[in-house]
Amino acid sequence: AGIPHVHVALKETEQVTPEIVKKAIAENPDATHFSVVHCETTTGILNPVADLAPIVKGAGLTLIVDAMSSFGGIPIDIRGLGIDFLISSANKCIQGVPGFCFVIARRSELEKCKGVSRSLSLDIYDQWETMEKGGGKWRFTSPTHVVRAFFQALQELKAEGGVAARYARYRENHDTLVKGMREAGFRTLLADDIQSPIITSFLYPSADFDFADFYEKLKAEGFVIYPGKISEADTFRIGNIGDVFPADFRRLTDIVRTL
């Protein structure tokens, strides 16, 4: 989009730490905004947003958090942390269907976005203004079915006991998965202390591991997993969000043990 920016490049398996953020801000005194991914879905790293936010806000920067794969499944104190823009989507931890994303914004910051966007379709101010003036109307064709599904998903989130209860279930899913995979001889890519409860990367158990064969065998049993996406190691990923429960992960790892 031609926006001047500094990319603070880390290793794929490295967590964003308060030290890294302090250094980046000190090296870029002209910076006005800071953006970070909460749960990094390619590896499964969970970045410590609660530890980073005070540094960013203390330096007077606008804080943007990509919470695509965490919002709804991991508690986030948006107001308390002073997050200015939090971005998420209908189809991750809210457990709706794909079709739209949404932004939770500080109104005073949103108001500064008028006429700023370089993109027609991603003009958040214009979208907001249209919704405010048009009784919730989308600027373009409203994704009606997706919004209805989102409404249902929110009811289900509430019925489950809210974000705290969903977080507890995802944690148990994750713990069940990792325990069972370790018993089956697999190792996780990341250390437990930087691992999110959302998606987990596992290392290939041997150099001749046949991922395609492993994938097909699990698929035949009703489980679809993800290939790895990182360059540092041969990995595959298993997600544990959605309408899935610890018993599903016990069944999965019982099958993995027989392969």
Ligand X SMILES: *Cc1c(COP(=O)(O)O)cnc(C)c1O
- Nearest CB to ligand X, comparing residues 71 and 253: 71
| Shortest distance, position 28 Cβ to ligand X, whole Å | 23
- Nearest CB to ligand X, comparing residues 240 and 253: 240
Query: With binding defined as CB under 6 A, does residue 84 bind ligand X?
Result: no
23-62 binders of ligand X (CB under 6 A): 37, 41
Please report where in the chains the tokens 């249902």 appear, as a residue: 152
- Nearest CB to ligand X, comparing residues 69 and 240: 69
Query: With binding defined as CB under 6 A, does residue 238 bind ligand X?
Result: no
Please report where in the chains the tokens 């989507």 appear, as a residue: 89
Query: With binding defined as CB under 6 A, does residue 66 bind ligand X?
Result: yes
Contact stretch for ligand X (CB under 6 A) within 90-98, 111-119, 124-132, 183-191: 90-98
Query: With binding defined as CB under 6 A, does residue 15 bind ligand X?
Result: no
Query: With binding defined as CB under 6 A, does residue 253 bind ligand X?
Result: no
What pairing do the DSSP bridges indicate for beta strands 85-89 and 62-66? parallel
Distance CA 198, CA 70 (A): 7
Residue whose C-alpha is closest to residue 72's, from 50, 47, 93, 53: 93
Residue 5 token pair: 């920016």
End-to-end Cα distance, the chain: 47
Per rule CB under 6 A, count of chain residues that contact ligand X:
10
Among 45, 52, 63, 68, binds ligand X (CB under 6 A): 68
Non-local (6+) Cβ contacts of 53 within 8 A are 63, 81, 82, 83
Q: Where are the alpha helices (DSSP H) in the chain?
A: 18-27, 49-58, 78-81, 107-111, 124-133, 144-160, 162-183, 211-220, 246-258
Distance CA 211, CA 122 (A): 38
Query: With binding defined as CB under 6 A, does residue 240 bind ligand X?
Result: no
Query: With binding defined as CB under 6 A, does residue 91 bind ligand X?
Result: yes
Query: With binding defined as CB under 6 A, does residue 95 bind ligand X?
Result: no
| Shortest distance, position 137 Cβ to ligand X, whole Å | 22
Query: With binding defined as CB under 6 A, does residue 123 bind ligand X?
Result: no
Look at residue 205 and give its three-state secondary structure: coil
- Nearest CB to ligand X, comparing residues 5 and 179: 5
- Judged by the rule CB under 6 A, the positions of this chain that interact with ligand X are 37, 41, 66, 68-69, 89, 91-92, 98, 101
